[in-house]
């Protein structure tokens, strides 16, 4: 019987790295001149997977997100996995925005991944959804490499990681 090789496509975010990046962002905001005397809060709830930003106005909100995004990128945290909510008016004439952290591949994106692999008609490459990840298997390592290349070229709304390569 031929040996089959496989890899898993997942989308995980290291919460410790997120916490470290947010601590760095808080320090930078405290020292920046354009935030002196202004309200700027960064709160992260690990259990719910939400990042809440509070600022004086929408302009400061955009600047605050820029700082947070820069720190996340420097620590190799994928910013694609943060889904922005609407800007809400909060108490004290401030604005608030809640970003939801996406852990794992959403069901719709997983279906798109499987559909894309089937449409490309790669030889004997199978894709199966397993919870919040997708397992791709084939008897040929070269075909798996081709499948990885195809997936890297597409945007599924979350950052993809390839692991468990066997």
Q: What is the mean pLDDT of the chain?
A: 85
Neighbours of 143 (CB within 10 A): 17
| Statement: residue 1 has pLDDT above 70 | no
Task: Determine which of 37-41, 64-68, 70-74, 116-120 has the lowest per-residue pLDDT on average.
Answer: 116-120
pLDDT in tens, 58-84: 888 899 999 999 999 999 988 888 888
Domains present along the chain, CATH in parentheses: 5-11+105-163 (3.30.70.860), 15-101 (3.30.70.990)
pLDDT in tens, 82-108: 888 888 887 778 899 999 988 888 888
pLDDT in tens, 141-150: 888 888 888 8
Residue 105 in contact with residue 9, Cβ under 8 Å?
yes
What DSSP string describes the chain? ----EEEEEE----HHHHHHHHHHHHHHHHH-GGGTTS-EEEEEETTTTEEEEEESSHHHHHHHHHHHHHHHHHTT--GGGEEE---EEETTTEEEEEEEE--S--HHHHHHHHHHHHHTT-TT-EEEEETTEEEEEES-HHHHHHHHHHHHHS--SS--EEE---
Packing angle, helices 58-74 and 15-31, rounded to 10: 130
Residue 17 in contact with residue 28, Cβ under 8 Å?
no
Q: Report, as an integer, the average pLDDT of 103-128.
A: 83
Here the tokens at position 91 are 């108490």
């Amino acid at each position: 019987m031929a040996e089959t090789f496989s890899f898993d496509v997942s989308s995980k975010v290291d919460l410790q790295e997120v916490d470290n990046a947010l601590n760095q962002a808080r320090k930078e905001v405290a020292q920046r001149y354009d935030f002196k005397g202004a309200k700027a809060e960064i709160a992260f709830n690990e259990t719910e997977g939400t990042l809440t930003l509070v600022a004086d106005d929408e302009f400061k909100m955009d600047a605050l997100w820029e700082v947070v995004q820069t720190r996340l990128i420097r620590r190799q945290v994928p910013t694609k996995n943060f889904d922005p909510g609407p800007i809400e008016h909060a108490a004290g004439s401030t604005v608030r925005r809640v970003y939801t952290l996406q852990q794992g591949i959403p069901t719709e994106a997983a279906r798109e991944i499987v559909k894309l692999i089937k449409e490309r008609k790669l030889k004997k490459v199978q894709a199966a959804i397993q919870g919040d990840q997708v397992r791709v298997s084939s008897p040929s390592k070269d075909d798996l490499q081709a499948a990885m290349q195809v997936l890297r070229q597409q945007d599924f709304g979350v950052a993809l990681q390839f692991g468990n390569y066997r």
